Amino acid sequence: MSEWRRQLGGRFSGSAGEVAWGTLGEPGRDPVVLLHGTPFSSFVWRAVARSLARDHQVFVWDMPGYGMSGKAEGQDVSLRAQGRVFAELLDHWGLREPVVVAHDFGGAVSLRAHLLHGVPYRALALVDPVALAPWGSPFFRLVREHASVFEQLPGGLHEALVREYIGSTGGPGLHPGVLERLVRPWVGDPGQGAFYRQIAQADQRWTDEIQGRYGEIDVPVLICWGADDAWIPVARGRELAALIPHARWEPIAGAGRLVQEDAPAELTAALGSFLRDVIR
């Protein structure tokens, strides 16, 4: 984690709080921007980012309320806020038409930025995105409805809950060291409050607002999905691919929701092939 912490040395003050960000690869090369999901951070992209940086300038960031970015009581970390921050961040970086690769919750963020804020992309790759209603596991919905109660859990019980939740993504299971690093940002103060805050604000209306517009997307789109995703089944990925004109569909065998951890080589190969086709 300390190595990745050094990677995210940039800071940006957005409308929803401070954003930690960084770049990999040679400046001036074709830009690729990676978005993480929830309850994760840019750390899950580390292997893929390093591979893509051989040929591209790769931008990574932690959304406000996540990872190394700012966490504060009363902070707006909703999909609505994150979509706005993403548009602000791309402007800050001076990126006009990047390739965007977005995972989970980040998928909805990238779709909102494109469809509602008019942010142009050269191409869009979605990895197990949150995009179609209904979404959220039974556990996720339970916590969302009672976030103020869960927030009062003793620290040890809270940590055990977060570890069990993150470990339930499906696939072969996370390496213990990786699981520990994904849990750590949510432990203690301000992590515990931030964990329940992001779930409490995960309102489906922010995807309902754009779901009917997926047919308007006119840039190349790749949809990758872990075939063993335990949170949102692979069938939803096929459904999404059918709604986006000419979307390329790429299921990844043996991977759960965290495809980056379960099958980084397969995911990188799929992304690399897509990038070669859209960047000439």
Query: What is the share, in percent, of the chain residues with pLDDT greater than 90?
Result: 94
pLDDT tier at 137, thresholds 50, 70, 90:
confident
Give DSSP secondary structure letters for 113-150: HHHTS----SEEEEES---SSS-S-HHHHHHHHTHHHH
Residue found by looking up tokens 């040929």 in the block: 55
Q: What is the pLDDT of residue 35?
A: 98
Q: What is the pLDDT of residue 197?
A: 95
In the chain, the amino acid numbered 267 is L
pLDDT tier at 136, thresholds 50, 70, 90:
confident
pLDDT in tens, 17-28: 999 999 999 999
Q: What is the pLDDT of residue 217?
A: 98
pLDDT at 1 exceeding the cut of 70:
no
pLDDT at 2 exceeding the cut of 80:
no
pLDDT tier at 225, thresholds 50, 70, 90:
very high
What separation in angstroms does the CA of 52 have from each of 22, 220, 268? 14, 18, 8
Distance CA 149, CA 185 (A): 20
b/e map of 123-152 (b: 16 or more CB within 10 Å)? Answer: bbbbbbbbbbeebbeeebeebbeebeebbe
Q: What angle do CA 240, 217, 20 make, to 5 degrees?
A: 85
pLDDT in tens, 34-50: 999 999 999 999 999 99
pLDDT at 175 exceeding the cut of 80:
yes
Residue found by looking up tokens 């978005």 in the block: 35
Q: What is the pLDDT of residue 233?
A: 95
pLDDT in tens, 180-190: 999 999 999 99
Q: What is the pLDDT of residue 210?
A: 98
pLDDT tier at 139, thresholds 50, 70, 90:
confident
pLDDT tier at 141, thresholds 50, 70, 90:
confident
Q: What is the pLDDT of residue 38?
A: 96
Per-residue three-class SS string for 110-122: HHHHHHCCCCCCC
Q: What is the pLDDT of residue 280?
A: 76
* Mean pLDDT taken over the chain: 96
Q: What is the pLDDT of residue 168?
A: 95
Q: Characterize the bridge pairing of strands 123-127 and 221-226.
A: parallel
